[in-house]
Amino acid sequence: MMASHLQETLRSWSTLNQAKKVGIVVLDGEDSSLAPAHIVAVARFSVKVSLLDSNEIKKRVQDSIATLDLHLSNSEDIYGVNTGCGGNASTRTKKLEMLQQAFLQHHQAGILPGLPHSSYDAAHALPTGLTRGAILLRCNSLLRGHSAVRMEVIELLVQALNSKITPIIPLRGSISASGDLSPLSYLGGLLEGNADIFVQVDAGNNANVMSAAKALSQANIMPVTLRAKEALGVMNGTAPSASAASLVLHDTNNLAVLTQMLTALATEALLGSVDNYHDFISQCRPHPGQIEVADNIRSFLIGSSLSQTTNTKQQGLVQDRYALRTAPQWIGPLLEDLLLANKQITTELNSSTDNPLIDVAGDRFHHGGNFQAASVTSAIEKAKTALFMLGRLLASQCQELVNPTLNKGLAPNLCFDDPSLSFTCKGIDINMSSYLSELAFLTNSVVSHVQVAEMNNQSVNSLALIAARYAAESVDIVTMMCAAHLYVLCQALDLRALEKDFFHALQPQLMALHSETWCNSEMAEKFSEIWTAVTASWHGHNECDHADRHRKVTEDSAHFIFDHLSKGENAASSSYAMIPKWKARIESTLVDVDQRTRVKFSAQQTTPDYLAVATKEMYLWVRQALQVPLHRGLVDHPGSSKCANDGCVKKTIGTNVTKIYTAIRSGEIVAVLQKASQISSEIS
């Protein structure tokens, strides 16, 4: 049975944590030995790399070289060894080492403004982490013994990687057809110690830019002269695309799990129905992804006091809107796509992707197209689509939360103070629309823009690296959306908890007031109905300032009592006479309870008491670990004359959302999701 997406993601997190703990990734070139998590470890956490000390590996690498030498000694023509490349493959030469240099030379043609200065324009270069991942992958591929590249060349790349010497590679220029030729030619420039190929050398918190020649000299690494086929063997592969795709998929998988958690939080904040995720619904339409999402969200909601079961007698909508109710059907297919994408990229990480390939056992060269990175593009396109659909769902949930006509009684824009002077989450609401618009643009397919290249030889090309670059931008935007939505959710949950506290404090006082006022009248047995009318009125006037809300709830309760008395046949005049007294006392009670509850809640939020076991972990992470507080309105604005002098350093809303964004982007949130998933699994 195929593992679920959550199981695969948990396994990936475990692999990454293990690599970080051990501090090294060992390469052996074997099938399925590398996973995307290993790329993340080396690319983002500077985990070191080593080559497995194996005579078998050394033999298969040497055997490929011996096969090449044998065919050359027989005066055979071998593509890229004694022939030109691409559309110029009809040329022949006996200057084999010079030919390899010529291959590097014509591909080292990218634009890198500002070099050799350390303040070069990094926006025109591939991210350092991506390049580190590409070096790792190229080494793993070359170890497979299909490329005739010497061990000392592979070892030099590993030495440079572990010395944090990273070539500065142009961002643009690859069509990922005959592999990523241009980006990988800069690895060749590093290997040969090219004085005009520049690298970044990380030393602690500093990064120095210098020539490849100088960097190798400082690290006591001798450059190499690339022999027959070696430059082509280094250049002709999909490593940059596969590295970029690994990072994108890792992030997308994380965001897919996070979106399910955020949907659980949104279900609580909107008093949504846990029955949206009932297994009967999924069993009636048993797509694996849908079944998994419903199960995940349902387990995340175990122990919640806020999520509801379906109540067919309630007023208003009898069911939740689509952003909650159809989340399993919306997210489920994306998980299925991501599982396939994971499989595609994992296969790519453990493949030989250059041309020609040396078949030692068959004693022949195979001229093929393993460099055509369409499988990588396919995986990335799945991720891009998934990212957009996740973002669309997040935006819909967020819009529902800030809209007072949709959020079941919460204040407009989720303000804590008066709505007439506080618009807490309105800016975030607008931001979400901006993010979503850009995300939609980035989701446009890249592969549909393929152009003919290189003398019509590369007439089809995968554009995998371009696709991965734009997918990385999509990842960043969806991360922003998750951060903004999580901020909004925590604010909404606090307001929902505040409302619960208010009702809990109000109900016994109103019950006592009711008993005193109506003990000898027709209304004596009607407290339950009055209470329902009061709570409904409170929700109905959620757009009002507090004073107006108190007054209108008071008026509504009085109207309810008057209407009830009017329907009775023998209502005493004394009962009508008590209405003004009721109004005066209920309004003062509302004011007093509301103010006291707010003061108490402002000092200490009770929100965790109402949350599910798993969602509580996420809420507490934001409020305690990240120190992102409840937003109380103008008193929390750093530039306001009304800023509260309570000893707390005031931050803008954007600063607090940025804290969440940074923690998601860095992977800090993974530990929270791991813990929440484990807790849910144990209690479900």
Q: What is the pLDDT of residues 189-223, one digit of tens each?
A: 999 999 999 999 997 778 899 999 999 999 999 99
Is 70 exceeded by the pLDDT of residue 574?
Answer: no
Question: pLDDT by residue (tens digit) across 604-649?
Answer: 999 999 999 999 999 999 999 999 999 999 999 998 766 666 667 8
Q: What angle do CA 314, 316, 322 make, to 5 degrees?
A: 105
Band (598; pLDDT cuts 50, 70, 90)? very high
Least confident of 488-497, 514-523, 619-628: 514-523
- Helix, strand, or coil (residue 464): helix
- Helix, strand, or coil (residue 50): strand
Query: Do β-strands 357-359 and 364-366 pair in parallel, antiparallel, or remain unpaired?
Result: antiparallel
309 vs 382, which has greater pLDDT?
A: 382
Distance (Å, whole) CA 305 – CA 307: 6
Question: pLDDT by residue (tens digit) across 117-150?
Answer: 888 999 999 999 999 999 999 999 999 999 999 9
Distance (Å, whole) CA 564 – CA 556: 12
What is the Cα 336 distance to its own chain's centre? 17
Distance (Å, whole) CA 648 – CA 472: 36
Q: Average pLDDT of 2-16?
A: 94
Nearest to 42 by CA among 177, 149, 138: 138
Structure tokens at 337: 């796509």
On average, the pLDDT of the chain sits at 94
Nearest to 293 by CA among 259, 243, 269: 259
Is 60 exceeded by the pLDDT of residue 182?
Answer: yes
Q: What is the pLDDT of residue 614?
A: 97
79 a catalytic residue: yes
Distance (Å, whole) CA 211 – CA 208: 10
Q: What is the pLDDT of residue 641?
A: 66
Domains of the chain: 54-237 (1.10.275.10), 244-353+372-483 (1.20.200.10)
Question: pLDDT by residue (tens digit) across 66-89?
Answer: 999 999 999 999 999 999 998 999
Q: What is the pLDDT of residue 295?
A: 97
Structure tokens at 215: 């960097």
Q: Which of 79, 186, 435, 470 is catalytic?
A: 79
What is the percent of the chain with per-residue pLDDT over 90, rounded to a whole number? 86
- Alpha-helical runs (H) found in 147-287: 151-162, 181-191, 212-218, 230-235, 239-269, 279-283
Question: φ and ψ at 165, to 5 degrees?
Answer: -100, 110
Preceding omega of 419 cis (within 30 degrees of 0): no
